[in-house]
Amino acid sequence: MSVDLVILANVVIAGVLTGIVYGLMALGLSVIFGVARLVNFAHGEMMTLAMYASVILFFTLNIDPFVAVLPVATAFFVFGYALQSFVIHPFVTRPEHSQFILLLAIAVIMTNGLLIIFGPDSRAVSLDTLLESIELGPVLIDRGKFYAALVAFGAAAALFGFFRLTRTGTAIRACADNWLGAKIVGLDVKRLYALTFGLGCACVAVAGCMMTLLVDLTPALGPAYTLLAFVIVIVGGLGSMSGALAGGVLIGVSEALAGFYFTPSAKSMFSFSLLILVLLFRPRGLLGNKL
Amino acid sequence: MSALLNVQNVSKSFRGLRAVTDVSFEIDPGAIVALIGPNGAGKTTIFNMVAGALAADSGAILFEDRPIRGLRPDEVCTLGIGRTFQIVKPFAGLSVLDNVVVGALKRCTRVNEARRIAATILETLGLGHKHDVPASALTPTDRKKLEVARALATRPRLLLLDEVMAGLRPKECDDLVATFREINQRESITILLIEHVMRAVMALAEKIIVLHHGEVIAQGTPGQVVKEPAVLECYLGEETEI
Amino acid sequence: MNRRANRLLAALGAVLLVLPAVADNYLLSIVTLFLFFAYAGQAWNIMMGFAGQLSLGHSLYLGVGGYAAGALYFHFGIGPWAGLWLAIMICALSGAAIGALAFRYGVSGVYFTLLTIAFAEFTRVGFDHFAWVGGSGGMFLKVAERDQIDLLNLRGTPAMFYYVILGLAAAAFALSGWLLRSRAGYYWQAIRENEDAAQALGINTFHWKILAITISSAMTAIAGVFSAFYYGNLFPEQIFNLSRSIEIMLGPIIGGIGTLFGPILGAALLTLVAESTTEVVAALGWETPGIKQLIYGIVLFVVIVLLPNGVWPALARKLKVTK
């Protein structure tokens, strides 16, 4: 294989692996946005919070992110459930822009809270076990990225399973399809919304823990990831879980390629152009249902 | 002039479900015509097509000999057709007067004059004393009247009324019937109404069009239509208010 | 407006007019900032409060407006009063284009908001690479000779800038008041309340929404020009930042969307909160970045939960200035 092709393969594979983690993050948003119809403008900030949690556990208690996933995800599930139940639920009946602003306020509080507590300097997690790359022929795969993607994929699969195979999961999907109908049938919509939000947050928590292995952490990541999550969900298609994953991989790969061939900052320009185009010309995204 | 409104072979399907099939009827200037039929017969769909809210799949709709199929709702209003909605859509955050002013501003650009016109129309509909009440605070009956007042303010030559009488007490219904008769005669406004309340239909309509499963099954004077076997059959077992 | 409101307004106006005579430069700079946000908030309010479209991308017009006039001055020595027109034109066109695209394709609600953010962010990164205006390193306008007043080139004392922004804020207030009571105001509020009903009454909602965005973006462009010359510099990372868009909308949201006084009250509250925070933080020795924004977030949170229509409606009732 020519050298150029090998380099391209490396870039694409790195993009796919990162993309799977992005996909998990977006999956959380898709679930929240698609089911509870909540515009979670604090999504990226929650992920950043999870990243910090993971980093703290690593530096203080020597717990590596793969293990930290469980406690952090559980904590975030509880946090999400409580936040939805007590703070966000009253806003379900209010005009859309009210909800949006509520979550924007939460996002601002989170980002700046993190900034005050941790400062703007970046932090990174590095594990000795991950230093050696995996070799697949001439192609080198970053071990950390690989395992992170694996965990992310596993979490996504678990979520899929929950929604398809369990009664509660089906109930939640019913809620998403027809809120009023669900109520009439006797489903406790409030509890299901809270559950959904909790699950979405847990998703984001897992994605966050894995993301610490891929990027350096600063509080400023929050807003950037929120936008990225929306780009992925809208491009991949609202209401489609596979769309969120597919969208994540697509964005991961295009970012990797854009960053490689142009400049690193060009990658966000690409994502935003894609968002604009999709919003205008195919709002249901690649795999979503007709709006 | 020939007919004011001429609906010719109009059809509409929603994702394979035929809502309206090959419907044709005419409305003469100055007439009051009722469109009746069981729920789901396609009456509001026809209204929406005339008013521009929906595009007909095929056929022609002519208003004052001008084709209007496919025009936007605001263009249809400009040409002289006003409408109410079956589920009323008041501007909740605005006062009663301001609601009607929005309508009046269609025909006169100066706000002060629009306010005077609006006040007069509200008077005709018995809402004169409620100028400053926020629309969200109105009773359902008054909301219906507001809806009519708003549409009237745009000086329509054809007024489409969608189930305005629903939920009104008999006395309120009779008052509104009298108001519509007056509007029809004094302002020469042609009225096409969708109604389930037979009391109003019989009192107002000179011509009735009966719709069932998206098709016209009878049209004519009330006397003629009431005797049509097809009509009796479609209403057998249906609940109608007499 | 009733007489009580008129009197309060006159009193406020009088205070603002004579302020430079009695205030030191620091106080003047604070009030200048307040007036800036009062102005920008009014401009934003026209789009959101009147036509009901939530834009979180107004930093786009601040930046493009500022850079347009700034570049003309920097490269060609053309003064800001002329450069202003280019800024307004470009921003009005951009706003109209974004609106036309969005409304033509039925993008509304949160999708519209995301669209506006996307355009602003795209432009931010774009300007980082725009070498002609300095790229990410920024563009610097000639250092102000703080003692001489050169109104033509907008270089001068803080007092000069103060009166300029006061004039702008007053004009914006008057314009908003006039628009609110005009046919346009009625039509916009109708569109905001119920677009279907508005259409049925003969309103071409597409045109009117575009008009709202165009006016809003043109006005915001002026704010951008002011900002460029007041601070003397422009950085893409700062001027196009999402934080600017959020700051612009904080005033109207907290004060009361769609109202005439909301943006002013909101801007005043925020300036008050910001300055008190700065004082307290300095006194306690807690100097850290982010405290001010955190407080903004908390204020926004408290207001949206407890007073969803903003502070002004409740305050107006208390002060008995509503009709």
Measured CA to CA, the distance from residue C179 to residue C183 in angstroms comes to 8
Given a cut of 50, whether residue B242 has pLDDT beyond it is no
In which residue are the tokens 């407080």 written?
C295
- 3-class state of residue C145 by DSSP: coil
Give the CA dihedral B26, B29, B31, B36, nearest 10 degrees. 30
Instruction: Report the pLDDT value the prediction gives residue A290, as an integer from 0 to 100.
Output: 46
In which residue are the tokens 């993971």 written?
A54
Measured CA to CA, the distance from residue C218 to residue C90 in angstroms comes to 8
Q: Phi then psi for A135, rounded to 5 degrees? A: -105, 130
Instruction: Report the pLDDT value the prediction gives residue C291, as an integer from 0 to 100.
Output: 85
Residue ranges per domain, chain C? 25-241
Distance from CA of A275 to the nearest CA of C (A): 7
CATH 3.40.50.300 in chain B: give the residue spans.
Answer: 1-80+156-242
Q: Is the pTM of this model over 0.95?
A: no
Given a cut of 50, whether residue A18 has pLDDT beyond it is yes
| CB B135, CB B147: distance < 8 Å | no
Given a cut of 70, whether residue B166 has pLDDT beyond it is yes
Q: Phi then psi for C259, rounded to 5 degrees? A: -95, 165
Q: Which of A77-86, A109-118, B13-22, C288-297 has the lowest mean pLDDT?
A: C288-297
Residues 6+ apart with CB under 8 A from C148: C155, C156
Number of cross-chain residue pairs from A and C with Cβ atoms under 8 Å apart: 111
Given a cut of 50, whether residue A215 has pLDDT beyond it is yes
Number of cross-chain residue pairs from B and C with Cβ atoms under 8 Å apart: 76
Mean pLDDT of all residues in A84-88: 90
Given a cut of 50, whether residue B131 has pLDDT beyond it is yes
Whether residue A111 and residue C305 make contact (CB cut-off 8 A), yes or no, is no
In which residue are the tokens 């919070």 written?
A49
User: Which chains would you list as touching B if contact means 3+ CB atom pairs under 8 Å?
Assistant: C
- 3-class state of residue B83 by DSSP: strand
Q: Which of A284-288, C213-217, C257-261 has the lowest mean pLDDT?
A: A284-288
Given a cut of 70, whether residue A16 has pLDDT beyond it is yes
Measured CA to CA, the distance from residue B235 to residue B209 in angstroms comes to 14
| CB B33, CB B206: distance < 8 Å | yes
ipTM field: 0.90
| CB C253, CB C303: distance < 8 Å | yes
Neighbours of B55 (CB within 10 A): 12
> Would you place residue C323 in the very low, low, confident or very high pLDDT band (cuts 50, 70, 90)?
very low
Give rounded-to-5 percent helix, strand, coil for chain A.
Answer: 75, 5, 20
Q: Does B212 touch chain C (CB under 8 A)?
A: no
Whether residue A96 and residue C290 make contact (CB cut-off 8 A), yes or no, is no
**Of the candidates B78, B93, B101, which has its C-beta nearest C202's C-beta?**
B78
Measured CA to CA, the distance from residue C55 to residue C46 in angstroms comes to 11
Given a cut of 70, whether residue C177 has pLDDT beyond it is yes
Q: Which of A58-67, B121-130, B155-164, C146-155 has the lowest mean pLDDT?
A: C146-155
| CB B54, CB B12: distance < 8 Å | yes
Distance from CA of B62 to the nearest CA of C (A): 18
Superfamily of domain B1-80+156-242: P-loop containing nucleotide triphosphate hydrolases (3.40.50.300)
Q: Phi then psi for A91, rounded to 5 degrees? A: -85, -5
Mean pLDDT of all residues in C244-269: 90
- Which of A191, A158, A172 lies closest to A73 in space, CA to CA? A158
Mean pLDDT of all residues in C273-291: 82
Instruction: Report the pLDDT value the prediction gives residue B77, as an integer from 0 to 100.
Output: 96
Instruction: Go through C192-206 and write b for each residue having 16 or more CB atoms within 10 A of its CB, e for each that does not.
Output: bbbbebbbbbbbbbb
Tokens matching residue B91: 């501007």
Q: Report the chain A residue with the minimal C-alpha distance to residue C243.
A: A108
Mean pLDDT of all residues in A2-23: 88
Measured CA to CA, the distance from residue C60 to residue C73 in angstroms comes to 20
Considering chain B, what is the average pLDDT of its residues? 91
Torsional class of C294: left (φ above 0), alpha (ψ -120 to 50), beta (otherwise): alpha
Residues 6+ apart with CB under 8 A from A191: none
Whether residue B151 and residue C201 make contact (CB cut-off 8 A), yes or no, is yes
Given a cut of 90, whether residue B8 has pLDDT beyond it is yes
Q: Which of A11-15, A86-90, B219-223, C285-289 has the lowest mean pLDDT?
A: C285-289
Measured CA to CA, the distance from residue B104 to residue B84 in angstroms comes to 15
Instruction: Report the pLDDT value the prediction gives residue A291, as an integer from 0 to 100.
Output: 40
Residues in chain B: 242
Question: What's at B54, amino acid-wise?
Answer: L
Instruction: Report the pLDDT value the prediction gives residue A140, as an integer from 0 to 100.
Output: 81
Whether residue A100 and residue C110 make contact (CB cut-off 8 A), yes or no, is yes
Tokens matching residue A208: 């966050």
Distance from CA of B89 to the nearest CA of C (A): 6
In Å, the largest CA–CA distance within chain B is 55
What is the secondary structure of C24-91 as a DSSP string? -HHHHHHHHHHHHHHHHHHHHHIIIIIT----S-THHHHHHHHHHHHHHHHHH---HHHHHHHHHHHH
The edge-to-edge listing of strands for the beta sheet with B158-162 is B81-83, B158-162, B190-194, B32-36, B207-212, B215-220
Helices (H) and strands (E) in chain C, counts: 14, 2
Instruction: Report the pLDDT value the prediction gives residue B93, as an integer from 0 to 100.
Output: 87
Given a cut of 70, whether residue C304 has pLDDT beyond it is yes
Q: Phi then psi for B127, rounded to 5 degrees? A: -110, 15
Of all residues in chain B, what percent carry a pLDDT higher than 70?
97
In which residue are the tokens 């009250």 written?
C265
> Would you place residue C37 in the very low, low, confident or very high pLDDT band (cuts 50, 70, 90)?
very high
| CB B64, CB B4: distance < 8 Å | yes
Mean pLDDT of all residues in B151-156: 95
Q: Does C194 touch chain B (CB under 8 A)?
A: yes
Cα B79 to its chain centre, rounded Å, is 16
| A 42-101: CB under 8 A from C | 87, 94, 96-98, 100-101
**Of the candidates C107, C297, C301, which has its C-beta nearest A279's C-beta?**
C107
Instruction: Report the pLDDT value the prediction gives residue B12, as an integer from 0 to 100.
Output: 93
Cα A60 to its chain centre, rounded Å, is 25
Whether residue C198 and residue B101 make contact (CB cut-off 8 A), yes or no, is no
Instruction: Report the pLDDT value the prediction gives residue C111, as an integer from 0 to 100.
Output: 84
Given a cut of 50, whether residue C234 has pLDDT beyond it is yes
Instruction: Report the pLDDT value the prediction gives residue C205, as an integer from 0 to 100.
Output: 93
Measured CA to CA, the distance from residue B91 to residue B112 in angstroms comes to 20
Q: Does B136 touch chain C (CB under 8 A)?
A: no
Q: Report the chain C residue with the minimal C-alpha distance to residue B147.
A: C197
Given a cut of 50, whether residue C164 has pLDDT beyond it is yes
Measured CA to CA in angstroms, residue B143 lies from B89, C197, C220 at distances of: 9, 13, 39
| CB B7, CB B61: distance < 8 Å | yes
Instruction: Report the pLDDT value the prediction gives residue A106, as an integer from 0 to 100.
Output: 95
> Would you place residue B85 in the very low, low, confident or very high pLDDT band (cuts 50, 70, 90)?
very high
Instruction: Report the pLDDT value the prediction gives residue C149, as an integer from 0 to 100.
Output: 65
Measured CA to CA, the distance from residue A117 to residue A121 in angstroms comes to 11
**Chain C residues with CB-CB distance to B74 below 8 A:** 199-205
Mean pLDDT of all residues in B33-51: 91
Instruction: Report the pLDDT value the prediction gives residue A269, as an integer from 0 to 100.
Output: 83
Considering chain C, what is the average pLDDT of its residues? 88
Given a cut of 80, whether residue B239 has pLDDT beyond it is no
Instruction: Report the pLDDT value the prediction gives residue B107, as an integer from 0 to 100.
Output: 93
Q: Which long-range contacts (CB under 8 A, 24 or more apart) does B104-107 make?
A: B104/B153, B104/B154, B105/C183, B105/C186, B105/C187, B106/B77, B106/B78, B106/B153, B106/B154, B106/B155, B106/C201, B106/C202, B106/C203, B107/B153, B107/B154, B107/B155
Tokens matching residue C119: 């355009």
Measured CA angle at A273 (ends C137, A248), to 5 deg: 105
Q: Does C205 touch chain B (CB under 8 A)?
A: yes
Instruction: Report the pLDDT value the prediction gives residue C146, as an integer from 0 to 100.
Output: 59
Whether residue A105 and residue C298 make contact (CB cut-off 8 A), yes or no, is yes
Of the residues C48, C111, C309, the best mutation for testing chain A's interface (the one with the most A CB atoms within 10 Å of its CB) is: C111
Instruction: Report the pLDDT value the prediction gives residue C144, as an integer from 0 to 100.
Output: 58
Specify the DSSP class assigned to residue A130. G
